[in-house]
Chain A
C-alpha cells in the first residue's frame, strides 16, 4: 500500500534532493528497505551493520516514534505519513 515518506533536508543529498516519496510498504521495515534499494547511499546513514536503525535517526509514523512501538515491525496502512528525523546540530559554536 502506498505511504508518503518525508526526507529531511540533511538526507536529501542522497535522494536527488527529493523531499517527499511515495513508496509501497506494509511495515516500516519494508519501507526502509524500499528506500535504501532506491537510494543505496542512504543505507549507511540509516542502518548499522546489523541492519538496525542508527541511534541518531528516528522514524515517526504520524506523530508516533516507532522505536517504542515494535520498531521495524510497525504496520503501515494506506495513506500513512512517515517522517525520518535525524539529529541535527546547527546553531552557534558555543
Chain B
C-alpha cells in the first residue's frame, strides 16, 4: 500500500494567491488537506495530458477548474461528430477544428489565468522526452498501444509519474505508474496484444459516461500527487465495470524482470513503438485489396468469390451485407475449413482494418487460398455503392 506522499512541487516554485484566487478556490482552501499551500502547489504545477479524447476531456476540465497553473495537451486530431457522445470538452460547433485549439479555448473560458499549451502534433519517440521533461506529471488518455508504451517508457526514463486510465466498452482501469516508487506499465503488461485481437473503441464501442468516470479518477490522482498526501493509486489497479456497477481493486507489484524498470533493464531508450506493437510487418507479403466498386462488379458477374463478414454479430444490425457469410474474427482460425481455397475470399469489416488483421491471422493459421481485403471496409461500400447503408 502506498503511503501518504510528498508533493511533486518544491517550495521554491510557489507564489502567493491573489484575492480573486482566494475566492475562486475557497472550497479547496477550506479543506485542511489542501489549504493555501496545496492551492499554491496546484498553481505552480505543470501537467501534460496526452490525448484530448474521452479521458482527456474531464481530466482537462477538472484540472483547469481545480487551479492547475499550466496544462499541456498533445493531440494531432480534429474533432469529429462521433466524439461528442463522450468528449464533453467539445461542442457541436467544434467539429473539424483541431482538438487542441477547441480544448484550449474552452479551458481558457473556464479559468482565464490558466496557461494552456497546445501541442498539435503526434507524440513520437523523437519528441516525447523533450516534451515530457518540461512537465511535473503526465496523464495518459490515449487509445492505442504504441502511444501507451511510448508514454510509459518515457516516464520511466525521466522519473515522472504516469497517471493512467484506459476504457473499453463498459469497463475501465486506472492506476498511477511511478517506477521510482512502484511498478511501471510494462511490469503489468510486458507487451501488447497483436493488432486486431481486441477491437479498439472505434470498432468495439464505448459507453460515453465511462471515460468520464475514469478521466475524473485520473484528475483526482493527479491533484493528489501535486497537493501531496492522501493515498495514491501507485501499486494498486482500480477497475470499474459500469454495466455491472462493480468495482475492484487489485495489487500491482514491481516486476524484478521488467525490461524497462527491472533489476537488469533491457530497454534503456525509446524504441520504434509501431514496430514493437506489430503494426509494421516488415518483410510481410503484401495483402491485396479490392475497392467497393470492384467488389460490386465481381458480385454482379457472379465469378465465384466468397465474401466473409468478420464483424461482431451486433454490428451486422447497424449495416447488413447480405451477400456475405458471417464469421466473427475470433472464430476464423478454427473455422478455416469452411472456406474453399480454390475461390477468392474477400474479407470485410467496418473500416477495412480488422479485416486486414483477419487475413494476417488466417495466413498465420496456415490458410493458403487467395484472400483480399475490402479497402476502407463497409463504410466505403456505404459511401460509394449503397448509400442506403449507414456509415457508423
Residue positions of A touching B, CB distance < 8 A: 6, 8-10, 13-14, 19, 40-41, 44-45, 54-56, 58, 60, 62-65, 67-68, 83, 85-94
The minimal Cβ–Cβ distance linking A14 to chain B, given in whole angstroms, is 6
Give the chain A neighbours of B239 by CB distance below 8 A: 83, 85
The stretch that binds A, out of B27-35, B142-150, B341-349, is B142-150
Give the chain B neighbours of A60 by CB distance below 8 A: 250
Decide if A91 touches B190 in the complex (CB within 8 Å). Answer: no
Decide if A9 touches B169 in the complex (CB within 8 Å). Answer: yes
Give the chain A neighbours of B333 by CB distance below 8 A: 44
Give the chain A neighbours of B193 by CB distance below 8 A: 45, 54, 56, 86-87
**Could you write out 18 A-B pairs with CB less than 8 Å apart?**
A6-B246, A9-B169, A13-B312, A19-B243, A44-B330, A56-B189, A56-B192, A58-B188, A64-B250, A87-B145, A89-B148, A91-B53, A91-B56, A91-B143, A91-B167, A91-B201, A92-B54, A92-B141
A-B interface, 10 closest residue pairs, ranked by CB to CB distance from nearest: A92-B53, A92-B51, A94-B142, A94-B51, A88-B168, A90-B201, A90-B167, A9-B171, A9-B169, A91-B143
Is B265 engaged at the interface, CB distance under 8 Å to the other chain? no
Give the chain B neighbours of A88 by CB distance below 8 A: 166-168, 171, 173, 198
Name which of B143, B166, B193, B331 has the most chain A CB atoms within 10 A of its CB: B193
Is B153 engaged at the interface, CB distance under 8 Å to the other chain? no
Decide if B192 touches A13 in the complex (CB within 8 Å). Answer: no
| Bitwise interface map of B from 181 to 193 toward A, beta carbon under 8 Å scored 1, else 0 | 0000000111111
Decide if A94 touches B144 in the complex (CB within 8 Å). Answer: yes
Decide if A89 touches B200 in the complex (CB within 8 Å). Answer: yes
Give the chain B neighbours of A40 by CB distance below 8 A: 334
Cα distance A56–B197 when bound, in Å? 11
Cα distance A14–B248 when bound, in Å? 22
Residue positions of B touching A, CB distance < 8 A: 50-56, 74-77, 87, 99, 122-123, 140-145, 147-148, 165-171, 173, 188-193, 197-198, 200-201, 204, 206, 211, 237, 239, 241, 243-244, 246, 248-253, 255, 312, 328, 330-331, 333-334
Closest to A88 in B: B168
Decide if A90 touches B143 in the complex (CB within 8 Å). Answer: yes
Given A9-B241, A10-B171, A83-B250, do A94 and B74 touch, yes or no (CB 8 Å)? Answer: yes
Decide if B167 touches A87 in the complex (CB within 8 Å). Answer: no
**Partner pick for B191 among A55, A65, A90, A91, CB 8 A cutoff:** A55
Decide if B173 touches A85 in the complex (CB within 8 Å). Answer: yes
Closest to B191 in A: A55
Given A14-B330, A55-B189, do A85 and B237 touch, yes or no (CB 8 Å)? Answer: yes
Give the chain B neighbours of A45 by CB distance below 8 A: 193, 197-198, 330
For the A-B complex with A58-B189, A88-B167, A90-B201 known, give 17 more contacts whose Cβ atoms are closer than 8 Å. Answer: A9-B243, A41-B330, A41-B331, A45-B197, A55-B191, A60-B250, A63-B251, A64-B250, A68-B253, A88-B198, A89-B145, A89-B168, A92-B99, A93-B147, A94-B51, A94-B123, A94-B147
Decide if B52 touches A92 in the complex (CB within 8 Å). Answer: yes
Cα distance A94–B51 when bound, in Å? 4
Give the chain A neighbours of B243 by CB distance below 8 A: 9, 19
Closest to B167 in A: A90
Cα distance A89–B53 when bound, in Å? 12
Decide if B51 touches A65 in the complex (CB within 8 Å). Answer: no
Decide if A9 touches B74 in the complex (CB within 8 Å). Answer: no
Given A90-B143, A93-B53, do A83 and B198 touch, yes or no (CB 8 Å)? Answer: no
**Partner pick for A93 among B144, B204, B255, CB 8 A cutoff:** B144
Give the chain B neighbours of A58 by CB distance below 8 A: 188-189
Decide if A41 touches B334 in the complex (CB within 8 Å). Answer: yes
Cα distance A8–B249 when bound, in Å? 14
Decide if A92 touches B56 in the complex (CB within 8 Å). Answer: yes
Cα distance A58–B114 when bound, in Å? 40
Cα distance A25–B252 when bound, in Å? 25
Give the chain B neighbours of A55 by CB distance below 8 A: 189-191
Given A41-B331, A65-B250, A83-B250, do A90 and B168 touch, yes or no (CB 8 Å)? Answer: yes
Give the chain A neighbours of B328 by CB distance below 8 A: 13
Decide if A91 touches B198 in the complex (CB within 8 Å). Answer: no
Cα distance A23–B174 when bound, in Å? 28
Decide if A90 touches B74 in the complex (CB within 8 Å). Answer: no
**Partner pick for B250 among A13, A63, A90, CB 8 A cutoff:** A63
Decide if B197 touches A89 in the complex (CB within 8 Å). Answer: no
**Partner pick for A91 among B166, B188, B192, B249, CB 8 A cutoff:** B166
Closest to B241 in A: A9
